[in-house]
Amino acid sequence: MSETAAPLVEVTGLTKRYGDTLAVNGVDLTVRPGEVYGFLGPNGAGKTTTLRILTGLIAPTSGTVRVLGGAPGQAQVLARTGSMIESPAFYPYLSGLDNLRLLAEYAEVPRARIHEVLALVDLTDRARDRFSTYSLGMKQRLGVAAALLKDPELVILDEPTNGLDPAGMRDMRRLIRELGADGRTVLLSSHLLGEVQQICDRVGIISEGKMVAEHNVEELRGQQELVIRAAPRESARSVLTEALGADTVHLYDDTLRVKVAPDRAAEVNRVLVEAGIAVSELRSTERALEDVFFELTTTQPEEKADVG
């Protein structure tokens, strides 16, 4: 991934108003070639509205949007973009195969591609059944297959794991990671922090129509801590301070908190054990990212008052 290459998606000051509702309010967003970008925000934050604008389905109220160097919705832009916006919508009376056939006609891609994408999402066996008989998971997978028909450089997926059972979620996430590993650029929206953390390289957080933060997922991980219960506590603290630096270690309630990435837990454990300290608990603070998320996406009462 190159930081200097021209961004595939470049959004500045994007605003969309529906009557009195300001669905998107001055959003800036940049998606770079080859990255898997997580567009994270609670329900109603404006994710779908933004993605609809990126695919040319709706017109922005104001702001500039460039997708693959062109205006959203242009034929040559759409030809290189595959997307699934909100719930997958297909003709219920047609089979999955026929649905893809007619989309291939619209997209002007060769028929052979249909079988490739069916295999990619593991729907080959059920391709001849009517869409109306599909489970939600199969419908979502057909949606992803349709998004991949054009073999696109940019894949836009709007909450593709919504409504799936855990196994379905796992498969969908694996598929998205594979798309990213193939060198495709993926813009994935989600309201699930863990999902974005698992799949994405970078994450933009949107709340009430505004972008509140944009981070590398690695950076966010770096903000995580290890929680340690060890005895004697004071010697544990001095051993860790010596090994990791004074800034990294602090005392919180009756636990030690160490600001290191969770994957260094084994190393921390070894340091303590070698110093003859009994470690009764060592875990990463799963909540740290959630905390960041809630902090950023929950409007404080006084801010609300300002907004009116």
Partner 1 sequence: MLGSYRAELLKLRKRSAVWVLFGAGLVLSLVFGYLLPYLGYATGDDNQQTSGVPRAQVLRGLLPERVLDNTIGGFPVFAGALALVLGAIVVGGEYTWGTLKTILTQKPGRGAMLAGQLLGLLTMLAVWVLGTFVACALCSVGIAAAENAPMSWPGAVDILQALAGGWLVLTMWCLAGVVLAVAFRNVALPIGLGVVWILGVEALLAGVVSSLLPALEFLSDAMPGANAGALVFSVTGMIAADAPPGVRDAVSGERALLTLLGYTLVFALLAAVTTRRRDVV
Of 182, 234, 177, 224, whose CA–CA distance to 201 is shortest?
Answer: 177
If the CB atoms of residues 85 and 175 are measured against partner 1, the closer one turns out to be: 85
Q: Are strands 36-40 and 226-231 parallel, antiparallel or unpaired?
A: unpaired
Phi, psi of 57, rounded to the nearest 5 degrees? -75, -35
233 and 256 in contact (C-beta within 8 Å)? yes
Position 25 contacts partner 1 (CB under 8 A): no
- In this chain, which of 41, 56, 60, 96 binds ligand ADP, going by CB under 6 A? 41
Binding partner selected for residue 294 from ligand ADP, Mg ion, partner 1, none, CB under the kind-specific 5 to 8 Å limit: none
Per DSSP (E only), the strands in the chain are: 9-18, 21-31, 36-40, 62-67, 81-84, 154-158, 185-190, 202-207, 210-216, 226-231, 249-252, 255-258, 278-284
Q: Which is closer to partner 1, CB of 78 or CB of 138?
A: 78
Residue 284 and residue 265 in contact, taking contact as beta carbons nearer than 8 Å? yes
Map the footprint of partner 1 across residues 78-137, applying CB under 8 A: 78-79, 81-83, 85-94, 98, 101-103, 105-108
Residue 46 binds: one of Mg ion, partner 1, ligand ADP, none (C-beta under 5 to 8 A by kind): ligand ADP
Closer of 41 and 60 to ligand ADP (Cβ): 41
A 10 A CB-CB count for 245 gives 11
Mode of pairing for the β-strands spanning 202-207 and 36-40 = parallel
The binder of Mg ion chosen from 41, 46, 48, 121 (CB under 5 A): 48
21 binds, among partner 1, ligand ADP, Mg ion, none (CB under 5 to 8 A by kind): ligand ADP
Q: How many other CB atoms are there within 10 angstroms of residue 115's CB atom?
A: 13
Asked if 47 is part of the footprint of ligand ADP (rule: CB under 6 A), the reply reads yes
What is the C-alpha separation between 220 and 210, in angstroms, rounded?
19
Q: Which of 1, 6, 12, 21 binds ligand ADP (CB under 6 A)?
A: 21
Q: Where along the sequence are the contacts to ligand ADP (CB under 6 A)?
A: 18, 21, 23, 41, 43-49
Q: Where along the sequence are the contacts to partner 1 (CB under 8 A)?
A: 52, 55-59, 73, 75, 78-79, 81-83, 85-94, 98, 101-103, 105-108, 146, 149-150
